[in-house]
Amino acid sequence: MVESEGLDPELIELASKIFDLARTGDAATLAAYLEAGVPVNLANDRGDTLLMLAAYHGHPEAVTVLLDRGADPDRVNDRGQTPAAGAVFKGEDEIVRALLAAGADPDAGTPSARDSATLFGKTELLELFGEH
């Protein structure tokens, strides 16, 4: 849900639609909205960016669309979580690799992606983080 205090209801509806595109992985439509001027680091009322939602819900193509347009791979939500930590939690290794390739810091956030990989025994990701 987008914080709606004093905002146009149509704007709220549009923002909700764009967040849903990230959640469902509709990369082509998401790209079109970004090209039309939607901010790539748009965040909802919980601080979740489009990138966080696409990463957490396992949509590598949408993640790539966002990263290619300058999404911040280390931007934390209101709970201090990064897209990389969310992807580790959800077992989305391909997305973790894409985020790292875009410059994500495996030690950013709380818990960090490294902390999450340690907790879940993801040794292959810990090795990958050691390279960054």
Q: Name the band, by pLDDT with cuts 50, 70 and 90, for residue 66.
A: very high
Strand, coil or helix: 93: helix
User: What is the domain class of 9-130 according to CATH?
Assistant: mainly alpha
Please say whether the beta carbons of 101 and 132 come within 8 A: no
pLDDT tens profile 16-26: 999 999 999 99
pLDDT at 4 over 70: no
Strand, coil or helix: 117: helix
Evaluate if pTM is beyond 0.85: yes
pLDDT tens profile 68-85: 999 999 999 999 999 999
Distance in angstroms (rounded) separating the CA atoms of residues 119 and 89: 9
The one-letter amino acid code at 10 reads: E
The closest alpha carbon to 19, from 37, 35, 2, belongs to: 2
